């Protein structure tokens, strides 16, 4: 086995034929480990940063990846980060589940590059990741004072059985509210004005026109209640305008939308990867907040996922109350941060709550 350091986008691009095959075999098998997501992210966020992508090869074929970059040392510390950090809900070394020797080779190569980086700020590693022990080795052998911190919980729902049986478990109150809100909408126009009924559509590909609608809807919501959205940030929006159509063309995108007439009133933007549907961003028109359009679009989106035969609905990072109406199961995300980065992360918790950063003492608990 040999390792190679990839430091430019051209060499990064050459890994595309192998990348997702490695992802599928790894414990990092999520939508945010895919080539489409990470390569496009680097295109928009890599300026003035150093790519530190390490690939492990066996018989000339890539078998493992450490998708990393280093801060520029001027406007940000020279810390190690995972590609995608900030917009990715999950990140990790990408190595076969049963090949600890591949991870060990990548860690050894990373330590050989110790003079290239000063600290670590590695976010959104699942608590059960097999890489944790190896990352402890980087911390110890690299003489980097660092701590594990809990960043956030990620609710998820295993999909078992049919939709009707599952939906019955949501409780009469939940189902009654959805039905009542739909009835209220229909009676709003006496059910007679053609085109004003709510229509749910399942979208697999998007274009700039759809993103424009999403941006407009997100802006209206932010003006109404301050709700934040990556579609209103730059260069986040430019990144999404490129990566979403790309993922759509490769059958990795799932969007549910509610319309009345031609107007987009609510949407659920998700990804599909290896039988898991990930809910990543949702929005609704605040003008019609009383009609619970966000809940209605999620019900339709979940039903679609059940009927497609997906095996899990992943609500991704964040502990918004609506997610716990669907499930009590959570995964825990961790970060391995140098003391300086850990302090910065702690300072950013202006109002500690269920998502507050916590230092992990020993094994993490979910």
Q: Looking at the structure, do residues 128 and 199 belong to the same domain, yes or no?
A: no
Nearest Cα residue to 178 out of 358, 360, 35, 326: 326
Contact 29, 21 (CB under 8 A): no
Q: Looking at the structure, do residues 178 and 252 belong to the same domain, yes or no?
A: yes
Q: Copy the structure tokens of residue 98.
A: 């049963």
How many folded domains does the chain comprise? 2
Q: Is residue 317 part of a domain?
A: no
pLDDT at 366 over 90: no
3-state secondary structure of 296: helix
Cα radius of gyration rounded to whole Å, the chain: 22
pLDDT of residue 342: 65
In order of 110, 155, 170, 298, the CA distances from 325 in angstroms are: 43, 10, 8, 11
pLDDT of residue 339: 79
pLDDT digits (tens, 9 = 90+) for 96-140: 999 999 999 999 999 999 999 999 999 999 999 999 999 999 999
Contact 110, 54 (CB under 8 A): yes
Looking up residue 237, the CATH number of its domain turns out to be 3.40.630
Give CA–CA dist 202/281, Å, rounded. 15
Q: Is residue 31 part of a domain?
A: yes
Q: Is residue 366 part of a domain?
A: no
pLDDT digits (tens, 9 = 90+) for 179-211: 999 988 888 766 545 567 889 999 999 999 999
pLDDT > 90 in the chain, percent = 87
Residue 16: give the domain boundaries.
Answer: 2-153+331-359
Q: Is residue 364 part of a domain?
A: no
- Return the residue matching tokens 């489409």: 36
pLDDT digits (tens, 9 = 90+) for 273-304: 999 999 999 999 999 999 999 999 999 999 99
Q: Looking at the structure, do residues 118 and 148 belong to the same domain, yes or no?
A: yes
pLDDT of residue 189: 61
Q: Is residue 292 part of a domain?
A: yes
Q: Looking at the structure, do residues 129 and 6 belong to the same domain, yes or no?
A: yes
Q: Looking at the structure, do residues 225 and 305 belong to the same domain, yes or no?
A: yes
pLDDT of residue 196: 74
pLDDT of residue 58: 97
Tell me the pTM.
0.92
Q: Looking at the structure, do residues 139 and 210 belong to the same domain, yes or no?
A: no
Looking up residue 32, the CATH number of its domain turns out to be 3.40.630.30
pLDDT digits (tens, 9 = 90+) for 236-273: 999 999 999 999 999 999 999 999 988 999 999 999 99
pLDDT digits (tens, 9 = 90+) for 302-351: 999 999 999 999 999 999 999 999 999 999 999 999 977 666 676 555 43
Mean pLDDT of 173-182: 95
pLDDT of residue 313: 98
Q: Looking at the structure, do residues 135 and 165 belong to the same domain, yes or no?
A: no
Q: Looking at the structure, do residues 12 and 149 belong to the same domain, yes or no?
A: yes
- Return the residue matching tokens 């809990």: 150
Question: Across all residues in the chain, what is the average pLDDT?
Answer: 92
Give CA–CA dist 277/300, Å, rounded. 13
């Amino acid at each position: 086995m040999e390792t190679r350091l990839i430091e430019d986008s051209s060499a990064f691009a050459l890994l595309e034929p192998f990348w997702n095959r490695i992802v599928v075999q790894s414990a990092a098998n999520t939508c945010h480990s895919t080539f489409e997501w990470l390569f496009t992210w680097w295109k928009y966020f890599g300026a003035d940063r150093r790519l530190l992508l390490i690939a492990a090869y066996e018989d000339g074929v890539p078998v493992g990846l450490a998708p990393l970059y280093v801060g520029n040392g001027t406007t940000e510390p020279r810390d190690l980060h995972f590609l995608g950090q900030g917009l990715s809900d999950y990140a990790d070394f990408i190595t076969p589940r049963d090949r600890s020797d591949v991870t060990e080779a990548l860690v050894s190569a990373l330590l050989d590059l110790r003079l290239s980086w000063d600290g670590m700020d590695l976010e959104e590693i699942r608590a059960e990741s097999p890489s944790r022990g190896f990352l402890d080795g980087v911390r110890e052998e690299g003489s980097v004072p660092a701590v594990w911190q809990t960043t956030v919980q990620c609710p998820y729902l295993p999909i078992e059985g049919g939709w009707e049986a599952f939906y019955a478990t949501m409780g009469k109150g939940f189902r009654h509210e959805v039905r009542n809100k739909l009835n209220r909408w229909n009676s709003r126009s006496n059910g007679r004005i053609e085109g004003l009924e709510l229509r749910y559509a399942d979208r697999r590909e998007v274009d700039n026109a759809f993103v424009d609608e999403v941006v407009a809807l997100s802006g209206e919501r932010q003006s109404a209640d301050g709700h934040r959205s990556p579609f209103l940030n730059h260069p986040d929006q430019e990144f999404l305008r490129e990566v979403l159509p790309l993922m759509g063309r490769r059958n990795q995108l799932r969007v549910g939308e509610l319309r009345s007439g031609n107007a987009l009133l609510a949407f659920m933007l998700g990804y599909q990867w290896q039988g898991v549907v990930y809910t990543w961003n949702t929005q609704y028109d605040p003008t019609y907040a009383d009609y619970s359009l966000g809940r209605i679009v999620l019900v339709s989106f979940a039903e679609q996922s059940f009927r497609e035969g997906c095996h899990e609905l992943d609500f991704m990072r964040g502990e918004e109350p609506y997610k716990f109406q669907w499930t009590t199961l959570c995964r825990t995300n961790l970060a391995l941060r140098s003391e300086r980065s850990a302090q910065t992360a702690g300072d950013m918790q202006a109002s500690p709550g269920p998502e507050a950063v916590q230092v992990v003492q020993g094994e993490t608990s979910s």
